[in-house]
Homo-oligomer: A and B are copies of this chain.
């Protein structure tokens, strides 16, 4: 049985049919539709010579045992945001399945190394606001003690939602056991941005996931009557915030691939007839280089202080969240470039702005790489998320090449002859 990328597309459509409605995919982790998606997936592996189990954090592992216990891990997630797209997560799982089939078929059920396919539990964090839940348990970076009391919109705790799906929070940390013999990890994902579409390229190697500095930045001025307060007597908190909203673009612009976003701005009292007395903003900064990230944070902070002073306001910062940049493995990046070049002639190199389970795996010290396939319109987390079918096919082929090359790398060249 040879690799059949068209089957991947067909299966993606089958999953969409099963787990979407008019508003998009509804495979929110720990819900019945998500469980149905997993059950459907298990039906797909039922006739393969594999072992299947859920780990202590609810991650779903499908293992094709090989001559060597050294394991090549291929992962993604079946869960989606509410009203999500048909490819986000699912593509990686079903491409991985196709490659697992290829390994099983080529070697009569016993490849030279072990190949494991993992469906991470709750990548999106859509229901409880905690993303990368299952992969963080695998990586040993989980924060379940704090997360277990999180509640969804109906007041159900994360702990109870997981229990209903067979996950015992008290054993959550035992998922680290799955790291045994893990030699490399790879993940295919849609880009979720406009970069490849603008370049008219199907595929990119992903250099790592950007670090994030996310802060609440609040400017304090003086509420005043819009009619009676002369322009030069104002302490306009919105003016100070507006200057920062524009300055962050210059700050990001000094670095390749860096991004700074003011996603939320709130005015108080927020009425037409009052100068803004308080302005609450959020600042999200991302880069793959930790030094660049620190520099951007410093620049934004200094700019905000200067703007506040010039507008006779004050400013306060508080960190909402941060994560360090996670660069992927240099050798695997090289192999991924080769695989893409052999498949699609031209390879692009880019960091990932969004986080992925791959970042958690890499933090656990396992050599990791990701591959992006072009997204249409740069849109994701929405039912209109889409990718050209020809690009999906190329992605499956390239991921297969990457898997072969990585197997060879894990086995230190012993495998290459077989593959060739």
Q: Which residues of A contact B (CB under 8 A)?
A: 191-195, 198, 210, 212, 214, 224-231, 233, 238-239, 241-243, 245-246, 249, 252-253, 257-267, 269-276, 282-284, 286, 320, 352-355, 378-381
Contact = CB atoms under 8 A, between A and B. Distances in A.
A286 B275 CA distance: 13
Contact of A272 (B214, B233, B257): B214
Contacts of A286: 226-227
A286 B249 CA distance: 32
A263 B226 contact: yes
A193 B230 contact: yes
Given A227-B355, A229-B259, 20 more contacts: A192-B228, A193-B225, A193-B228, A194-B230, A214-B272, A224-B378, A225-B354, A226-B261, A226-B286, A228-B380, A229-B353, A231-B258, A239-B249, A243-B246, A263-B269, A263-B273, A263-B275, A263-B276, A265-B270, A266-B266
8 contacts: A193-B224, A198-B233, A210-B227, A229-B353, A265-B267, A266-B267, A272-B283, A273-B284
B263 A267 contact: yes
Contacts of A241: 242
A296 to B, nearest CB: 12
A229 to B, nearest CB: 5
Contacts of A214: 272
A259 B194 contact: no
Given A233-B194, A242-B245, A246-B243, A228 B352 contact: yes
B259 A264 contact: no
B229 A238 contact: no
Nearest to A256: B230
A364 to B, nearest CB: 22
Contact of A228 (B191, B224, B253, B269): B191
B270 A267 contact: no
Of A198, A210, A246, the most chain B CB neighbours within 10 A belong to A246
A316 B70 CA distance: 61
Contacts of A380: 225, 228
A26 B229 CA distance: 24
Contact of A264 (B198, B233, B270, B352): B270
A231 B262 CA distance: 12
Given A227-B210, A286-B226, A238 B259 contact: no
Contacts of A233: 193-195, 198, 378
Nearest to A321: B272
A226 B378 contact: no
Contacts of A267: 263-266
